[in-house]
Amino acid sequence: MEYRNLGRLGVKVSPLCLGTMNFGWEGLGTPEEDAFRIMDRALDHGLNFFDTANVYGWRKNPKPGEGVTEQIIGRWFAQGGDRREKVFLATKLYGSMGEWPNQDGLSALNIRRACDASLRRMQTDHIDLYQMHHIKRDTPWEEIWQAMEQLMAAGKILYVGSSNFAGWHIAQANEIASRRNFLGLVSEQSLYNLDARTVELEVLPACERYGLGVIPWSPLAGGLLAGALEKASEGRRSDENFRRRVERNRDKLEAWEKLCADIGERPADVALAWLLKNPVVTAPIIGPRNPDQLEGSLKALEIELSDEIMGLIDQIFPGPGGAAPEAYAW
């Protein structure tokens, strides 16, 4: 495993990030015993970067603030074997964890409460990367940064990241952090894949300028880039909304899957390799529902895409034309 620096940091993480959103989710999610096997197998293969969120683990009748996925991770850590010591642990806050005021968002009160609750659920004394799941426009950065500074001083978090931020949010956050002599944002978790390239306009340039590692979520576009034409009747891909997405993109997908077949690689692996080719990207998030899917994703680390293949991919899934404003202005 060749580890990468997370953005401008000295810390090293694996080039694939294990996403845990499926763990404990009723219905098509991953049962706890399978989640344990996936996490053990991830460590066996050298994956040390795990991502979760306090709201993950949806149930039909959830208790407010249950945090099912974080609890599963906590019980896995509790088995010992240096599991916690080997993992670079990322979680997120923002979503509602209760029915009363101040149980969501990014107020200093909720930041402190949410962090303590995540630590209890995951049975750990610190979070390596504490991420804001979304921007909260009515909360001043001075309040957010003061709360994060206090958590860092208490040893409860090591780094702060963002998720689903616009480029100007990243700039604003880090400029204010700089005035406070604070490290600021070190990563941005964005929707980014061949079918969703809007972040190339302003988010990726902001991340590059401020040294944030980009952590793409949904790198396979919800399965659209993973051989959707061949597997449209399997599992979640049998959903009517997914079938409509396939039909809307049929021409692109036919060209995409043919290109992947021509180079002898699986579409899912090529989609991940395409992201990994971008130097601003640290680690796409993979969300395996079983150990076999995890091991299949590792093949992406062996694929080297030539400039010619990258050009052909751009023809099938053209991006916005580069960074703003050149993408749309002279």
CA angle 243, 248, 253 (to 5 degrees): 85
pLDDT at 58: 79
End-to-end CA distance of the chain: 43
Could you give the residue numbers annotated as active site?
Answer: 56
Q: Which amino acid is at 62?
A: P
What predicted TM-score, i.e. pTM, was given to this entire model? Answer: 0.95
288-292 mean pLDDT: 93
CA distances from 318 to 239, 252, 294, 314, 329 (A): 27, 10, 29, 5, 17
Q: Which two tokens stand for residue 192?
A: 């980014």
What is the spatial distance between Cα 304 and Cα 294, in angstroms, rounded to a whole number?
Answer: 20
Delineate the domains of the chain, giving CATH numbers in brackets: 4-223+271-305 (3.20.20.100)
In the structure, what pLDDT confidence band is assigned to residue 32 with cuts at 50, 70 and 90? very high
- Would you give the DSSP letter of residue 154? T
pLDDT single digits (tens) 160-213: 999 999 999 999 999 999 999 999 999 999 999 999 999 999 999 999 999 999
